Amino acid sequence: MTIVPTTLENGVVKRSDFVVDITADGGDLSAAVNNTALVLSCLTTLANVMMIELSHVELLEPFQDTTDAAQNSTSLTIGDGGSANRHLTATELNANGAYVTVKAGTGTKYVPGADTPTTFTFTPTAGKNLANLNKGKLRAYFRVIDARPRP
Protein backbone atom coordinates (compact mmCIF):
# COMPACT_ATOMS: atom_id res chain seq x y z
CA MET A 1 0.00 0.00 0.00
CA THR A 2 1.29 3.43 -0.93
CA ILE A 3 -0.09 6.67 0.51
CA VAL A 4 1.05 9.92 -1.09
CA PRO A 5 -0.11 13.54 -1.27
CA THR A 6 -1.62 14.34 -4.64
CA THR A 7 0.08 16.78 -6.97
CA LEU A 8 -1.50 20.21 -7.35
CA GLU A 9 -2.87 19.28 -10.77
CA ASN A 10 -4.36 15.99 -9.57
CA GLY A 11 -5.59 17.58 -6.35
CA VAL A 12 -7.68 20.03 -8.34
CA VAL A 13 -8.79 17.61 -11.06
CA LYS A 14 -9.46 14.65 -8.76
CA ARG A 15 -10.64 16.67 -5.71
CA SER A 16 -8.21 15.01 -3.35
CA ASP A 17 -5.40 15.65 -0.89
CA PHE A 18 -4.08 12.07 -0.58
CA VAL A 19 -4.03 9.03 -2.82
CA VAL A 20 -3.90 5.44 -1.59
CA ASP A 21 -2.65 2.84 -4.10
CA ILE A 22 -3.19 -0.87 -3.47
CA THR A 23 -1.81 -3.52 -5.82
CA ALA A 24 -2.16 -7.28 -6.04
CA ASP A 25 1.41 -7.93 -7.12
CA GLY A 26 2.98 -5.70 -4.45
CA GLY A 27 2.05 -8.01 -1.57
CA ASP A 28 -0.71 -5.72 -0.29
CA LEU A 29 -3.33 -8.49 -0.36
CA SER A 30 -1.48 -11.15 1.59
CA ALA A 31 -4.41 -13.05 3.18
CA ALA A 32 -3.55 -16.63 2.23
CA VAL A 33 -6.45 -18.34 4.04
CA ASN A 34 -9.52 -19.27 2.02
CA ASN A 35 -12.72 -17.34 2.78
CA THR A 36 -10.79 -14.72 4.78
CA ALA A 37 -11.41 -11.02 4.34
CA LEU A 38 -8.43 -8.70 4.71
CA VAL A 39 -8.62 -5.34 6.48
CA LEU A 40 -5.90 -2.80 5.66
CA SER A 41 -5.64 0.35 7.80
CA CYS A 42 -4.32 3.73 6.71
CA LEU A 43 -4.84 7.50 7.06
CA THR A 44 -5.51 7.82 10.77
CA THR A 45 -7.92 10.71 11.30
CA LEU A 46 -7.20 12.73 14.45
CA ALA A 47 -10.03 13.06 16.96
CA ASN A 48 -12.03 16.30 16.75
CA VAL A 49 -9.40 17.80 14.44
CA MET A 50 -9.65 16.19 11.01
CA MET A 51 -12.55 15.40 8.74
CA ILE A 52 -12.00 12.80 6.01
CA GLU A 53 -13.98 12.13 2.86
CA LEU A 54 -13.44 9.60 0.06
CA SER A 55 -13.84 11.42 -3.25
CA HIS A 56 -13.81 8.28 -5.40
CA VAL A 57 -12.04 5.02 -6.26
CA GLU A 58 -10.48 4.21 -9.62
CA LEU A 59 -9.84 0.61 -10.64
CA LEU A 60 -6.70 1.11 -12.75
CA GLU A 61 -6.37 -2.62 -13.43
CA PRO A 62 -9.04 -5.17 -12.42
CA PHE A 63 -7.87 -7.71 -9.83
CA GLN A 64 -7.39 -11.25 -11.07
CA ASP A 65 -5.84 -14.64 -10.38
CA THR A 66 -4.67 -15.37 -13.91
CA THR A 67 -4.38 -19.08 -13.12
CA ASP A 68 -7.94 -19.50 -11.80
CA ALA A 69 -10.96 -18.05 -13.64
CA ALA A 70 -13.17 -19.37 -10.82
CA GLN A 71 -11.75 -16.63 -8.59
CA ASN A 72 -14.35 -14.22 -9.91
CA SER A 73 -15.14 -11.85 -7.06
CA THR A 74 -13.02 -9.42 -5.09
CA SER A 75 -15.21 -7.02 -3.17
CA LEU A 76 -14.10 -3.82 -1.43
CA THR A 77 -15.64 -1.61 1.23
CA ILE A 78 -13.95 1.45 2.77
CA GLY A 79 -14.81 2.67 6.25
CA ASP A 80 -13.38 2.79 9.74
CA GLY A 81 -13.73 1.11 13.14
CA GLY A 82 -17.22 2.55 13.62
CA SER A 83 -18.62 1.59 10.20
CA ALA A 84 -16.93 -0.73 7.70
CA ASN A 85 -18.65 0.98 4.76
CA ARG A 86 -18.78 4.61 5.92
CA HIS A 87 -16.91 5.85 2.83
CA LEU A 88 -17.62 3.19 0.17
CA THR A 89 -20.20 0.43 0.06
CA ALA A 90 -19.27 -2.89 -1.54
CA THR A 91 -17.90 -2.63 -5.06
CA GLU A 92 -16.58 -5.38 -7.33
CA LEU A 93 -12.91 -5.27 -8.39
CA ASN A 94 -12.39 -8.65 -10.11
CA ALA A 95 -11.70 -8.99 -13.86
CA ASN A 96 -13.83 -12.16 -13.93
CA GLY A 97 -16.77 -10.42 -12.24
CA ALA A 98 -18.93 -7.38 -13.00
CA TYR A 99 -16.29 -4.86 -11.92
CA VAL A 100 -16.73 -1.10 -11.79
CA THR A 101 -13.85 1.12 -13.01
CA VAL A 102 -14.82 4.32 -11.15
CA LYS A 103 -17.02 4.57 -8.07
CA ALA A 104 -17.83 7.65 -6.01
CA GLY A 105 -17.58 7.58 -2.24
CA THR A 106 -20.70 7.80 -0.10
CA GLY A 107 -20.19 11.55 0.41
CA THR A 108 -19.81 11.11 4.17
CA LYS A 109 -17.57 13.70 5.79
CA TYR A 110 -16.61 12.18 9.11
CA VAL A 111 -15.02 13.78 12.18
CA PRO A 112 -14.18 11.02 14.68
CA GLY A 113 -14.36 11.38 18.47
CA ALA A 114 -11.17 9.29 18.79
CA ASP A 115 -8.15 8.83 16.51
CA THR A 116 -9.51 6.51 13.81
CA PRO A 117 -7.76 4.76 10.91
CA THR A 118 -9.53 4.44 7.59
CA THR A 119 -9.99 0.76 6.65
CA PHE A 120 -10.08 -1.04 3.32
CA THR A 121 -11.84 -4.42 3.58
CA PHE A 122 -11.21 -6.86 0.72
CA THR A 123 -13.33 -10.01 0.49
CA PRO A 124 -12.42 -12.89 -1.88
CA THR A 125 -14.56 -15.38 -3.79
CA ALA A 126 -15.98 -18.12 -1.53
CA GLY A 127 -13.42 -20.90 -1.23
CA LYS A 128 -10.58 -18.70 -2.55
CA ASN A 129 -7.96 -16.41 -1.00
CA LEU A 130 -6.66 -12.93 -1.78
CA ALA A 131 -2.97 -13.89 -1.81
CA ASN A 132 -3.47 -15.72 -5.13
CA LEU A 133 -4.45 -12.51 -6.93
CA ASN A 134 -1.52 -11.64 -9.20
CA LYS A 135 -2.94 -8.69 -11.14
CA GLY A 136 -4.77 -5.56 -10.11
CA LYS A 137 -4.35 -1.96 -9.01
CA LEU A 138 -6.71 0.32 -7.14
CA ARG A 139 -6.37 4.05 -6.41
CA ALA A 140 -8.51 5.81 -3.78
CA TYR A 141 -8.70 9.61 -3.58
CA PHE A 142 -9.26 11.21 -0.16
CA ARG A 143 -9.89 14.74 1.04
CA VAL A 144 -8.72 15.69 4.51
CA ILE A 145 -10.26 18.82 6.00
CA ASP A 146 -9.29 20.76 9.13
CA ALA A 147 -12.40 20.40 11.34
CA ARG A 148 -11.24 22.63 14.21
CA PRO A 149 -13.47 25.62 14.98
CA ARG A 150 -12.21 28.99 13.80
CA PRO A 151 -11.86 31.80 16.35
Residue 45 lies in a domain: yes
Residue 59 lies in a domain: yes
Report the CATH number at residue 28: 2.60.120
Reported pTM: 0.88
Residue 151 lies in a domain: no
Q: What are phi and psi of 89, to 5 degrees?
A: -80, 170
Residue 61 lies in a domain: yes
Residue 20 lies in a domain: yes
CB atoms within 10 A of CB 33: 11
pLDDT at 149: 80
Residue 87 lies in a domain: yes
- Domain residues for the domain of 121 are 2-146
Q: Could you read off the pLDDT tens digit of each residue along the chain, which spans 151 residues?
A: 666 665 555 545 566 788 899 999 878 898 888 999 999 998 888 888 888 999 999 999 999 999 999 999 999 999 998 899 999 999 999 999 999 999 999 999 888 889 999 999 999 999 999 999 999 999 999 988 888 887 7
For the chain, how many structural domains are there in total? 1
Residue 132 lies in a domain: yes
Residue 6 lies in a domain: yes
pLDDT at 147: 84
pLDDT at 93: 97
